[in-house]
Structure 1
Amino acid sequence: MSRTRGPWTVLDDREVYRNDWVCLTEYAVTRPDGKAGIYGVVGFANHALAILPVRADGHIVLVGQHRFPQNRYSWEIPEGGGALDADPLEGAARELREETGYTATNWREILRMDLSNSVTDETAIGYLATGLTPGDAEPDGTEDLRTRELHFRDALEEVTSGRITDALTVAMLFKAYYMAREGELDSDLSAAMLDQGARRV
C-alpha cells in the first residue's frame, strides 16, 4: 500500500543492509515531479550526542582521533551515541567521562540538529557542561584518543581557519559563542569564554 512523505509517494521499501549502528533502506517512490524513482535513507540506532566542556577560566576540552570514513585526523568536542529510548543526558555524561575523564555538575542542552537530512534520519543533541572535575578517561576499543585544552576563542579560530571541520563541533562552538555574546549564559562564564586575555600563550 502506498503512503506519502510530504510531496513524495512511497510505493515500497526494502532493507538493504543493517548492523548494530546503522541500517540502509531503499524506497521505491514517486517523486514530487510525478516521475518514478528511488530514495536511500541511512537510519541510525542512536542519537548523536555532543558535549562542550567549558572550564571556569574559559578553556574547553577537545578530543582528537582518526576518523575512518574521511581517513584523516580530527579534533572535536567529546561526542558519541545514545540509544533512542534512553535518557540522552545520561549518555552525554557517560561519553564525557569515557573520552576525557571529566565529570560535570552542571548540564544544559543548547542544541538540537539534523546532521545530514538529505540521506539520514540522524539527529543530534548538544550539551554545555560546566563545573568540571578531572578524572581518568576510559575510551572503548574503537577509540584511540588524545585530549587537549585550549581557550574557547582559540577553538573558534580553529573553526574559522578550517582546522576544525567536524559539524557538531562547529555548530556547538558557534551556538555557545552566540549565547555568550547575547547574555544567555552565566555572566562570569561568558566573560571567561570571550576574554582573549585568558588565552594560553
Structure 2
Amino acid sequence: MQNPWKTLSKQEIYSNPWIRVEEHQVINPKGGRGIYGQVHFKNIAIGIIPLDLQLHTWIVGQYRYTLDEYSWEIPMGGSPMDDMPEEGARRELKEETGMTAKIWRNILKIHTSNSVTDEVGYVFLAEDLTQGETEFDETEDLKIVRLPFVDVVEMVLEGKITDGISIAGILKAERILKESGRL
C-alpha cells in the first residue's frame, strides 16, 4: 500500500547512544496538519529461546528501571543495526546465560510498538547447547532460571511474563514445537 501520510519536516528532539526522538510535522491521511513523535532505536531487539533436549529453557529475571519492577524474560538485548540478527543473538545468549548453540532458527520478526517507534526485533530458537561462563555487562544484575518449556508457557498465560518480545517468542516457539510433535 502507498503511504497516506505526508511528512513536512522532522526535528531531532533528543538523542543518546540507544535512542533518538524526533518530532515530525505531518499531514495525516484525512488531510489535517499535525505532529507525530517517533522514537528511533539505534539497535535491533534480539530475543533467544534456548531449548535443551529435555525441552527445558532458560529465562532471566532482572529489575527493569523504566518499569520500576522486576521482570522475567527470555534472554535478550540489542544488536547493532549493521550486524546480522543471528550474530547479535549468539552474543546475547553467551552474555546472559553463558551458553552457545549449534542450531539457530529465526522464528519471529516483531515490531515492538509500531505507533510510536520503528523498533524491530527478532526471536531465535537456539538448540544443541553448550554451557559456559556468562559475560554480563555493567547494567545487568540477572537471575538465570532453567525451567520446563511448558512451565514458561504457563508463566505467559498467567501474566507472570509481561515482556512483549518474550510473550510473542514463547508462544511462537510453543506452536512450532507442537506442530513438529515435540511438545
Write the mapping of 1:124-163 to structure 2, written as runs, cut at 5 A.
Answer: 124-163=121-160
Structure ID, larger Rg: 1
Q: TM-score normalized by structure 2?
A: 0.97
Measure, in 2, the Cα distance between the counterparts of 1:180 and 1:92: 20
Secondary structure, aligned partner of 2:62: strand
- Give, as a single letter, the amino acid of the residue that structure 2 aligns with 1:108: R
Matched, 1:68 2:65: yes
2:165 paired with 1:168: yes
Gaps of 5+ in 2: none
Determine the C-alpha separation between the residues in 2 that align with 1:127 and 1:147.
Answer: 18
Counterpart position of 1:8:
5
Secondary structure of residue in 2 paired with 1:169:
helix
Residue number in structure 1 paired with 2:89: 92
Q: Quote the Cα distance in structure 2 between the aligned partners of 1:170 and 1:153.
A: 13
Deviation of the 1:156 alpha carbon: 0.6
Question: What is the DSSP-based 3-state SS (H/G/I as helix, E as strand, rest coil) of the residue aligned with 1:98?
Answer: helix
Output the TM-score relative to the length of structure 1: 0.88
Gaps of 5+ in 1: 195-201
Misfit runs of 4+, over 3 Å = none
Percent identity over paired residues? 46
Letter in 1 for 2:166: T
Amino acid at match of 1:68: Y
Quote the RMSD (CA, aligned, Å).
1.0
Q: Which residue of 2 aligns with 1:39?
A: 36
Q: Which string of whole-angstrom CA distances, capped at 9 and with x for unpartnered residues, describes residues 83-106 of structure 1?
A: 111122111111000101111111
Task: Report the secondary structure of 1:120's partner residue.
Answer: coil
CA distance in 2, matches of 1:88, 1:180: 22
| Pick aligned residue for 1:49 from 36, 46, 51 | 46
Q: CA deviation at 1:182?
A: 1.5
